[in-house]
Amino acid sequence: MPNPIRATITATSKYLPEKVMTNHDLEKVVETNHEWIVSRTGISERRVVEDGQATADMCTRVAEEILLKRAITADDIDVIIIGTVTPDMLFPSTAALVQDAIGASNAWGYDLSGACSGFLFALENGVNYIETGRYKKVLVLGADTMTSILDYEDRTTCILFGDGAGGVLLEPSSDGDGIIDSLLFTDGSGGKHLCMPGGGSLNPATVETVKQRMHYIKQDGKKVFKVAVKGMADISLDILKKHDLSGKDIKLFIPHQANKRIIDASVDRLGLSPDQVLINIDKYANTTGATIPIGLAEAVEEGRIQTGDYILLAAFGAGFTWGSTLIRWGHSK
């Protein structure tokens, strides 16, 4: 018998730092050019945190706006889950810092490392907490300060990423609307193709690891590109097929924003028209765990999602990790 309780998104929010770094700004830092970046990635500019600002600060702003929109207090929050690979520090968790900053005195929480799929993984956690009936209000955030781990001497990676945060509030619903299903995968054999080798227990920080630039992102772009194109399209088709739906049933597809060419390949395979796809990579670049919740918040702000609409989310990233989530939109702020 299907579970009568579904988790539904009742509020969304996003935060992007004010500071803009354009492709032309990057031309002054590394040997690159605006035309190459736009044609190969779709990115024109990205946002960058101020000195002293980091992931918890961006998450706090998102959480506070969600509380305001939903007209609840921080005490009402039961759980805070944050998908991030750039926590303020290894511990305490970003969730703990946010819990304190907003004063969520009844909440517990944790960070989850799923890279670009981190928000979908965190969402699945939150959905399960709601569906058991044990928790009523779960904050699920995705946030990354990617500029803190970018090597501005490596033009193949430093042009790709930006900073940002987004999030949703999950609550129970009994009218059938909400998160319908998720398909999630990890294939750790792809780990070496996209990683930050330094700073963990294997290569703790030393003068040597810093000299070798091990505390920055390393990526085999071509390898990741090939797997991402197939992975994100396949998983999007799989979840639709599982629920007897096709591209034409989807009001809005909100894919991870890593490369416009990867998004276009998924859009082609799903047979979607441009108005069915959210693309903001031109403005924000790849904000890793934040791309999908930022996209959701933007879509709600722009009136692109209404109650009853089918929304499809899809991600692919380091791990490798990938996944898709199908939503029938309920009532949200």
Catalytic residues: 116, 256, 286
Stretch that binds ligand UT7, among 36-44, 268-276, 293-301, 302-310 (CB under 6 A): 36-44
Contacts by residues 173-176 (CB-CB < 8 Å, ≥ 24 positions apart): 173/5, 173/6, 173/7, 173/8, 173/330, 174/4, 174/5, 174/6, 175/330, 176/6, 176/328
* Cα 154 to the center of its chain, rounded Å: 23
Question: Do 275 and 298 meet the contact criterion of CB atoms below 8 Å apart?
Answer: no
What whole-number distance in Å separates Cα of residue 333 and Cα of residue 330? 10
Number of residues that bind ligand UT7 (CB under 6 A): 19
Q: Which is nearer to ligand UT7, 62 or 116 (CB)?
A: 116
Q: Which is nearer to ligand UT7, 163 or 171 (CB)?
A: 163
Q: Which is nearer to ligand UT7, 32 or 125 (CB)?
A: 32
What whole-number distance in Å separates Cα of residue 111 and Cα of residue 15? 18
Q: Which of 56, 116, 120, 130 binds ligand UT7 (CB under 6 A)?
A: 116
Q: Which of 155, 193, 269, 333 binds ligand UT7 (CB under 6 A)?
A: 155
What minimum distance in Å lies between the beta carbon of 87 and ligand UT7?
18
Q: Is 156 in the site for ligand UT7 (CB under 6 A)?
A: yes
Q: Which is nearer to ligand UT7, 116 or 180 (CB)?
A: 116
Q: Which of 32, 113, 148, 203 binds ligand UT7 (CB under 6 A)?
A: 32
What minimum distance in Å lies between the beta carbon of 315 and ligand UT7?
8
What minimum distance in Å lies between the beta carbon of 109 and ligand UT7?
25
Q: Which of 13, 23, 41, 182 binds ligand UT7 (CB under 6 A)?
A: 41
Q: Please tell me whether residue 78 adopts helix, strand or coil conformation.
A: coil
Q: Is 317 in the site for ligand UT7 (CB under 6 A)?
A: yes
Which stretches does DSSP call E strand in the chain? 6-15, 19-22, 45-48, 79-83, 108-112, 138-145, 163-173, 178-186, 194-195, 218-219, 250-255, 310-317, 321-328
Q: HSE-up of 200 (CA within 13 Å, CB side)? A: 8
Q: HSE-up of 308 (CA within 13 Å, CB side)? A: 0
Give the residue carrying structure tokens 């779709």: 42
Stretch that binds ligand UT7, among 106-114, 162-170, 205-213, 255-263 (CB under 6 A): 255-263
Residue 14's CB: how many other CB atoms inside 10 A?
26
Give me the residues that bind ligand UT7 (CB under 6 A), please: 32, 36, 40-41, 116, 155-156, 159, 194, 221-222, 224-225, 228, 258-259, 262, 286, 317
